[in-house]
Amino acid sequence: MEKRISNQKITTNLWFDSEAEAAAKFYTSVFKDSKIGRISRYTKDGFEFHQMPEGSVMTVEFIIEGQEFVALNGGPVFKFNESISFIVNCETQEEIDYYWKKLTEGGDEKAQVCGWLKDKFGVSWQVVPTVLNDMILDPDPAKAGRVMQTMLQMKKLDIAPLKEAYEQG
């Protein structure tokens, strides 16, 4: 019997219509520290409930950046929305640019605001510089306010103008 790819206690489950394998392949191509694990397939048993063709992909286990996920082909019953998102913490503008470019390919352009985006599968991501929280949580409300106002004007976050706003005055 093939083993799980991780012993993580809590695993994120992502429900796709029928794109679980494509999504897992996409995410593991974007993030460097990643791999695909076991893939399960639907059988004829339970067809009256799942309505999926026998032999089609049911679940795909994958890991990105040490975080375990399961992608499920569950049909069109549920869709992703912005109430759940994944934050990609970036140390540099180069990292922000890389993840933004990769994750926005084929995604919803209208959903791009303040570092948030929706990828081509409808999953929401936040691509943010790690310094942002330090600036927003500064005890000086003027500094934090300037950073917030600057961020609210952006789609993809840009570290230089955020730092400039922080250091003003």
C-alpha 57/C-alpha 62 separation (Å) is 14
pLDDT over threshold 70, residue 1: no
Q: Which of 161, 155, 165, 166 has its CA nearest to residue 127? A: 155
C-alpha 60/C-alpha 69 separation (Å) is 8
Q: Which of 111, 121, 127 has its CA nearest to residue 23? A: 121
Q: Which amino acid is at 146?
A: R
Q: What is the largest CA-CA distance in the chain?
A: 68
Looking at the structure, give the CATH architecture of the domain made up of residues 85-167: Roll (3.10)
C-alpha 99/C-alpha 30 separation (Å) is 7
Q: What is the pLDDT of residues 118-132, one digit of tens each?
A: 999 999 999 999 999
SS3 88: strand
Looking at the structure, give the CATH architecture of the domain made up of residues 12-73: 2-Layer Sandwich (3.30)
pLDDT over threshold 80, residue 65: yes
pLDDT over threshold 80, residue 3: no
> Is the entire prediction scored with pTM above 0.95?
no
Q: What is the pLDDT of residues 87-145, one digit of tens each?
A: 999 999 999 999 999 999 999 999 999 999 999 999 999 999 999 999 999 999 999 99
Domain ranges of the chain: 12-73, 85-167
